[in-house]
Structure 1
Amino acid sequence: MIPNQWYAILRSEDVKKNKPVGIRRFNKKLVLYRDTQGQVVCLDDRCAHKGVPLSNGKQHGDYIACPYHGFQYDASGRCVHMPVLGKDGVVPKHLHVPFHTVREQHGLIWCWTGEQVPEQLPEVPMFKEFVEYTGFTSRYAWHAPTHYTRYVESVCEVYHVPFVHKGSALNIWDPKGGRVDDFSCQLEGHLIRSEFVLRPDDDRTAEETLKARLPWTRGWRIGVDVLMPNLVQIRNDVFDVYLIATPIDDDNCWLCICYKEPKRDLLLPMMKPLPIPGWRRVRPWLMCRMERFIQQSKDMAALKGQEPRISSLEANRLISVDKVNAYYLRLRDQLIQEAQAQAKAQAPRSPGDIGSHTGEVKPIHIVPHKPQAA
């Protein structure tokens, strides 16, 4: 995990009034609840007294109570009441649990992962295409048995679709060839943007495949973007979706997907969606479920047994069209190094300490992708 970053940890609708929720993220057990103002509170899910999960307890106004002895904690993790001492009892100062800085934006709950919380926190990351979007969207979340770095890689490598998803019920409109043309990739700060055409490997030009009317003969112009630390956006002329992979531990991650309304008919991409009443809301909801139970189940089957579990530049032998992955892994290394350098600078120094230096991400030089002529 990259420290000093915002990570989405739950959907907003997952934390309801008077219902504490226990989750596991970043190898930690966390409890989330809403105070009387509806604001989300996040604490370590462990009573400071005997280690019982607070998520099994109940709320008392703005406080959450341990189910074992009723000790109550406020939003800062400070124990404010111990029934055993009576209402006027003085609570020992050492009885507190760590709290976590959270924000609620874009229909998600975000947690700051740094050991230190700066006075001016960076903005919560989100693709501008979704920030500015005013139509209907739908979000769906679940757990996946893979490290979050491997999941980020998998959704960046759209050229796996014709092979992994072969035989899928949705394959009638999936890309039908693994050939990639017109590939380009740029780095814009912490944002990686790429464009390419995924198409059948035949004698037509890339532009000709994009104009084909039959879904099993057409090519797709696709954009894949990565926004650090863990957001991926897939754009094309039929749908736009973002995907988030947040670490649970080294073997599992929490996934969240968000679809916009489709721009064209799913089965006949040359047509706009039929104006069926009520379907503007239903379509993105349905696409999320198809993604979860059809597309992603096939992806997880393909990733099963992948080694090493955690990705890195050294773990892979990347090819030219993996430039998005290469930038992502290099940016990840850089951000981790910067966080470590910052932590070292803030720690007490001895005379012999020497600060580390990190620079900008170096350009990646890869031989341009040139598919062989048919």
Structure 2
Amino acid sequence: MVRVIYNQWYVVLDSKEIKREKITAVKRLNKDLLFWRDNSNQIHCIERTCAHRGADLALGKIVNDHVQCPFHGIEYDGSGKAVLIPSIGKNGVIRSNFKVKSYHVDEKGDFVFMWFGEERKDLPEIKWLEGIDETFNYSSLADIWPVHYSRSIENQLDVSHLPFVHYNTIGRGGRTLVNGPIVEYKDGIMNVWVNNVSDNGQRPLKPEEVKKENCIGRLQFIFPNYWQNIINKDLRVVAAFVPIDDSNTIIYLRFYQRFLKVPFIRNFVTKISMPFNKKVLNQDKRVVITQKPIKSELRMNENLYQGDLPIIVYRRVREELKKSAKGVSE
């Protein structure tokens, strides 16, 4: 069982990972899942264990937009219902217990979102990252971290580690003193305004003393698991922190830009930027995988300070959302 916020839309895959009429088998939120696109390009998701005799449906194939079990040819539709059992004939009556669990899925921003929660007809709308639209182009990479997804999220909300973890990349300049930061949360979206400066012996400004217009950059996190660094209106770094299980997370990292307009040049620039972004991510990974315990909670044996306000707010909101949705997965 993986402890997550229930009744949420989770980013689970990059859209390009799911091909038409092909099976994509992954573990997400500690569930063995199977995804595929049908002929109308709609994505479906079901669990992988056949309801007949427990074979792995991921070893099967797509037949007439259905998943065909590799063992006895039973076909399942996108709702997880068996629609054909060859051994009883095309007109055979299929009992209702020949069904595997299915999940609602949708696409937004070239990510695949999966609803992990109670079955309902009126699913909430998927929220998207502010300002990112089709005028941007991006390059991407994926990396697996042996940590609970909460740890990887908190790392990207941590505003005081940059001069130390990223001393020779994005943390150059020695801005070790953290003013604020300003943290605002509303309706599942958290924004953090950053104002880090050189330490000349002054005291850090409190959040209410910091002006947003004096901040360099803004972090935006949308619960439960995706984030962006708003460097400026034309430059963004985006990450989705996707739970595999309680001990492993896959991070989808993207670099977005729109300051270059010529297609070939803009694609080239985003592509060559990824080794640098990979280096930055690996600097984070080197430290985060050493943190104990492997996942974070609202209250732990830690000593926090003013600069940790984004992490404190994240933990509080996460705990509130877990409680409001009865806290854990199935």
* Structure of greater relative contact order (alpha carbons < 8 Å, 6+ residues apart): 2
Q: Match of 1:195?
A: 193
- The percentage of aligned residue pairs carrying the same residue is 27
Query: For residue 9 of structure 1, what is the amino acid of its counterpart?
Result: V
Among 228, 242, 254, which residue is 1:233 paired with? 228
Q: For residues 296 and 97 of structure 1, what CA distance do their matches in structure 2 show?
A: 37
Structure 1 residue 133 displacement after superposition: 5.6
Q: Match of 2:150?
A: 149
How many residues were matched structurally? 314
Q: Does 1:324 align with 2:292?
A: no
Among 47, 51, 75, which residue is 1:48 paired with? 51
Contact 2:25 2:34 in 1 (8 A): yes
Query: For residue 97 of structure 2, what is the amino acid of its counterpart?
Result: H
What does 1:238-317 correspond to in 2, within 5 Å?
239-261=235-257, 278-291=264-277, 293-315=278-300, 316-317=302-303
> Higher strand fraction: Structure 1 or Structure 2?
2
**Match of 2:58, SS?**
helix
Q: Deviations over 1:297-348 (max 9, x none)?
A: 121111123111111221232211111111111111111111118x9xxxxx
Q: Match of 1:223?
A: 218
What does 1:95-114 correspond to in 2, within 5 Å?
95-114=98-117
Q: Match of 2:120?
A: 118
CA gap of 1:277–1:69, structure 2 versus 1, over 3 A, is closer
**Match of 1:94, SS?**
coil
Structure 1 residue 84 displacement after superposition: 2.2
CA gap of 1:65–1:199, structure 2 versus 1, over 3 A, is same
Contact 2:153 2:225 in 1 (8 A): yes
Contact 1:261 1:281 in 2 (8 A): no
Q: Which runs of 5+ in 1 are unaligned?
A: 207-218, 264-272, 344-374
Query: For residue 88 of structure 1, what is the amino acid of its counterpart?
Result: N
Q: Deviations over 1:214-235 (max 9, x none)?
A: xxxxx98131222211222212
Bigger CA radius of gyration: 1
Contact 1:220 1:236 in 2 (8 A): no
Q: For residues 121 and 277 of structure 1, what CA distance do their matches in structure 2 show?
A: 37
Among 73, 80, 103, which residue is 1:77 paired with? 80
Q: For residues 11 and 75 of structure 2, what CA distance do their matches in structure 1 show?
A: 27
Q: Which runs of 5+ in 2 are unaligned?
A: 205-213
Deviating above 4 A after TM superposition, structure 1's stretches of 4 or more consecutive aligned residues are none
Q: Match of 1:159?
A: 160
Contact 2:5 2:322 in 1 (8 A): yes
Among 21, 26, 44, which residue is 2:24 paired with? 21
Query: For residue 246 of structure 1, what is the amino acid of its counterpart?
Result: V
RMSD: 2.7
CA gap of 1:78–1:279, structure 2 versus 1, over 3 A, is same
Q: For residues 149 and 277 of structure 1, what CA distance do their matches in structure 2 show?
A: 37
Q: For residues 45 and 335 of structure 1, what CA distance do their matches in structure 2 show?
A: 29
Among 314, 317, 333, which residue is 2:319 paired with? 333
Structure 1 residue 195 displacement after superposition: 1.2
Contact 1:144 1:253 in 2 (8 A): yes
Q: For residues 95 and 162 of structure 1, what CA distance do their matches in structure 2 show?
A: 57
Structure 1 residue 188 displacement after superposition: 2.5
Structure 1 residue 203 displacement after superposition: 8.2
Query: Which range moves more in the overlay, 22-31 or 310-319?
Result: 310-319
CA gap of 1:174–1:86, structure 2 versus 1, over 3 A, is farther
Structure 1 residue 202 displacement after superposition: 4.6
Q: For residues 158 and 184 of structure 1, what CA distance do their matches in structure 2 show?
A: 11
**Match of 2:97, SS?**
coil
Q: Match of 1:371?
A: none
Q: Deviations over 1:269-289 (max 9, x none)?
A: xxxx7x887221222333344
Q: Deviations over 1:163-218 (max 9, x none)?
A: 11235xx46x84543222353222223222121223433589x9xxxxxxxxxxxx
